[in-house]
Structure 1
Amino acid sequence: MRVAVLAGGRSSEHDVSLSSAAAVRGGIAAAGHEVVPVTIERDGDWIHEGQTLSLKPGGGLLGADVVFPVLHGPFGEDGTLQGLLELLDVPYVGAGVLASSLCMDKVVFKDVLAGVVPQVPYAGLREPRWRAEPEAVLEELAALGLPVFVKPARLGSSVGIAKVRTADELGPALDGAFAHDSLVIVEGFSPGLEVECSVLGFGASPEASVPGEIVLTSGADWYDYEAKYTDGGMELVVPARLPEPVLEEVRRLAVETFVRVGCAGLARVDFFVEDGERVLVNELNTMPGFTKTSVYPKLWEASGLPFPQLCDRLIALAVERFEAERSVAF
């Protein structure tokens, strides 16, 4: 098939996207498909072979049979790009508009799953309230204990995140997160193992990979941007060093979370496992990284699905979903 691979984007994760997309282009070519590279510049221009593209609703994209939008963060992973691809009327890899938007917003994601899957305690905070009532906010957040993680609610790749160890650090951490997003999430600390599981599929029966355990080797005490994207920053232990029943519970919860939020194609679900048995869902990433240090393809490789075949499966799932959704009358 002819596959348009989108790279770059307007978010702070532009460079990560470029690295991910380079790997995806190689995987797609190795699977025997034609690659059509498209770069989305930081200013939003779509560029192919040095020319700025003009997009027409219903007109597809450069004659592609399917689009692989390897974009992270706002304007790529949050439902906006997915809406544009729907209007272009072209199959695309990954979650649709609603699931992309829902999973990008960490507060909404956790609210939707509250009472359904176990999670760490958390609180969402909007900037106007923080500016109007800082003392009341700090008093409420104290209930989460220390340390806590302060995160922009709608970014990824650990951008803008701070680990807060003392009460005096909380206010500056909130200010730092609000520089990236008007909605912030504050999460209680879990001492558990960080475990990740890749999901692949469409419909009611997606598949979960072997879970992997994140082991930091860079000296950092949490899984920050440098640990994620620097060679040697972390070691992925596959399978995670947990009893088999716990590994199966991780896989079960990964699939349940994927289905409940309406994902399609792919996702990486992140967990904490406390005391070797209590599994907590942390978040779900609808377009995980595909760089050489990224966990999603490594877990499928360890599960017996090499990278070119993984890319091939994702393309086939995109077409399958497109055909299923276009078979109903709107």
Structure 2
Amino acid sequence: MSKLPIKVQIGIRDSWDNEDAPVQKAIRNLQEVIGVRVTVNPEWPLLYAELGDFHPDKATLAPSVATAVEACCTALSTLADDETNAEWADTLLERTESHIRISIGASKGQEMGISWSDQEGGFVISLPKSAVPSKAHTLSFFTGNLLKVFDDKARHESSSVATPAAAADDWADVTVDNKTGNAAVIEAPRRHGATTQPSPSFDVIPDVSTISRPDELLLKPPYHLIVHYHSKGSIDVQCGHSPTLQFIADYLKKWSRTNHNNTTRPPLAEVQLHQSAFGLGVVYDRLTIVSESRYHTQTVSPTIVLSLIEGVLGYKNVFCDGSSWTFRKDVEFKSSRY
């Protein structure tokens, strides 16, 4: 926090940390209406790095963030308290599992955004790279868009529409397989005669301010992935491409057997995603798989993970030593549901 300009720190103190601030009152009111815990933890240094240039008066950054969160919480309270939205409220409680998390990131343009993250079990507010609109406009935005946030079509329509550049080279695209209704990534064959572009050479270290933030940078190839198999049967998967890890986790959770020796009937293998220490929004860089072995000798094998990585996702093995495997992929994933 000490790295932030003094005006930003004062704004955080007065507009966010103050228990009497409107945003804190809105958060508490939402907890009372919904009946579950609400957590909002802004990453102030990262938000300043991403949005600071769009606030010439640095004192306006924290109040703008607070205004957006206040409007979101107020809209959630209003919608949940309206009996005509009973089905939406039931879906909200089912998805949140007794804890609503609200993450704050930056949009890629000048438009504000709101989305739902199944992995985080919460909402993601994308602040515009411009001045945040008035409180009335922001409240209207959240009220209208929160009602659609659980609509799968609305959530994924942006990923299902190919860009003009992608449409022109659709034979080289990597897309989500919709034939079976299951999440799977397929790579179509390239046209005959297609040539591989030579890797660019770099002879200058760029200015840090010119490089996109990690959650955007790592969506571009090359993608690097490392699998470690430990002696006790646990598997550790590290990857810079967050959607890759999310796909593997979803697949394994879908097909994991149940441990019938435990009265709580947990999965035989615990699959857990770990959030990255870098970037904004929901970004994962590690996946762990551990067998539930208190009552039996069940272990997990790395072979299913390796098959997914090579056979489904198209990564190429570049090194292995018996207990660890290193992969690389140079073809960009053009589409993803994550």
After TM superposition, the score normalised by the length of structure 1 is 0.22
1 or 2 for the larger relative contact order (CA 8 Å, sep ≥6)? 1
Structure number, greater radius of gyration: 2
After TM superposition, the score normalised by the length of structure 2 is 0.22
Q: Which has the higher strand share?
A: 1
